[in-house]
Amino acid sequence: MDRINVCIIGSGNWATTIARNVGRNVANSQHMEPIVYMYVYEEIVDGRKLTEIINTTHINVKYMPDFVLPTNIVAVDDVVKTARDADILIFAIPPTFVNSCCKTLLGKVKPTAHAVSLIKGFERGDDGQIVLISQIIMRQLKIPCSVLVGCNLAHEIANDNFVEGTIGCRDQKYFRLLQDIFKSATFRVVVTDDADCVEICSTLRNVIAFGAGCADGMELNENTKAGIIRRGFLETLQFVDVFYPGCRMATFFEACGISDLVTSCYANRNRKLAEAFVKTGQPLSELEHILIPGHEPLGPVTAELVHIMLEKKGLADKFPLFTVIYKICVGDQPLTRLVETLRFAREDM
């Protein structure tokens, strides 16, 4: 029986972090090919190629300089070479590169391969709707695509802090395999077949985190913030029900739901951005560059796409929190509307 071949596409800090788990796990498994190719976008660092540095020192000096990779992770500068023999393709690249990457890979990967997206974010569809990254990969590469979400701070996993993740995978026969590939003693993974729900949860939380940040900026108290988080949670449920029907409530209790939301609302960059937005009164576009250079804050743009989707169905008033957060982002409504919204939101959802 052939061993299962795993590859990683991407070499940023998230990809590098997860590469350590993957490298160790395949090395310890009789079912898996011990060498894992990692596609690295070639750059010259201090006069040397990044792939060479990684393959000789096992350190990704550019993105994770304090972190040693297992020696069975082999950096490759060619994405087709990385992926062509793989049974499991792990995607961990910025969302903007997904389309071009898939185009390069089309027809070059095994037809039986299975993708796993670790990518946060989504694409803006032609009609302004959210297109999930897993859907893009599936459509373009014609292979199934699972998702791994639920851990939004790569450095905490790298530090071996105890962290939970959720894998959304529609095919039960991959459950155990995917769990075995990613897990570690400190990174606990639960697999569910509710894949769309897993992915959309981790997207919508950015909107809620933005709302929670607004509450922090206005110096509202803990109770009010908890009210925003709860209402956001309910609207997430309702949103999934309308746009991705068939999801299960239990999925919201997984790491991709409750834990991700909590971390986002207390620690994440959307929260920080929103807080500064309220306190300084500066436009979001300016604050983004100052506060979180190099990262696109997903809160405002997610709020916009969500709003477009809701308007199309005439449902904006059934999602008062999502709607008011969008309107605050674009300056259509004053901040005070945030609490007003909680006050009058309907409960009978």
Partner 1 sequence: MADKTNVCIVGSGNWGSAIAKIVGANAAALPEFEERVTMFVYEELIDGKKLTEIINETHENVKYLKGHKLPSNVVAVPDLVEAAKNADILIFVVPHQFIPNFCKQLLGKIKPNAIAISLIKGFDKAEGGGIDLISHIITRHLKIPCAVLMGANLANEVAEGNFCETTIGCTDKKYGKVLRDLFQANHFRVVVVEDADAVEVCGALKNIVACGAGFVDGLKLGDNTKAAVIRLGLMEMIRFVDVFYPGSKLSTFFESCGVADLITTCYGGRNRRVSEAFVTSGKTIEELEKEMLNGQKLQGPPTAEEVNYMLKNKKLEDKFPLFTAIHKICTNQLKPNDLIDCIRNHPEHMDTSIMPSPKL
* Contact positions vs partner 1 (CB under 8 A): 1, 4, 29, 31, 87, 112, 151-153, 156-157, 159, 161-164, 172-177, 179-180, 185-186, 188-191, 220-227, 229-230, 233-234, 237, 249-250, 253-255, 258-260, 262-263, 265-267, 339, 342-343, 347
> Closest separation between CB of residue 348 and partner 1, Å?
10
Contact 11, 38 (CB under 8 A): yes
HSE (side-chain half, CA atoms, 13 Å) at 13: 16
* Residue 270, marked binder: yes
* Residue 154, marked binder: yes
> Closest separation between CB of residue 235 and partner 1, Å?
11
CB nearer to partner 1: give 21 or 259. 259
CA–CA separation, 205 vs 212, rounded Å? Answer: 10
CB nearer to partner 1: give 45 or 349. 349
> Closest separation between CB of residue 79 and partner 1, Å?
23
CA–CA separation, 297 vs 274, rounded Å? Answer: 10
SS3 118: coil
> Closest separation between CB of residue 43 and partner 1, Å?
29
* Residue 248, marked binder: no
DSSP state of 2: P
- Return all residues near 62 (Cβ < 8 A) that are at least 6 apart: 11, 43, 45, 50
CB nearer to partner 1: give 77 or 180. 180
Structure tokens given for 157: 């996993």
CB nearer to partner 1: give 190 or 315. 190
Q: What is the DSSP string of 151-196?
A: ---HHHHHTT--EEEEEE-S-GGGHHHHHHHH--SSEEEEEES-HH
CB nearer to partner 1: give 112 or 285. 112
Distance of CA 202 to the CA centre of its chain: 6
> Closest separation between CB of residue 130 and partner 1, Å?
23
Which residues sit in the known binding site for NAD(+)?
A: 97, 154, 269
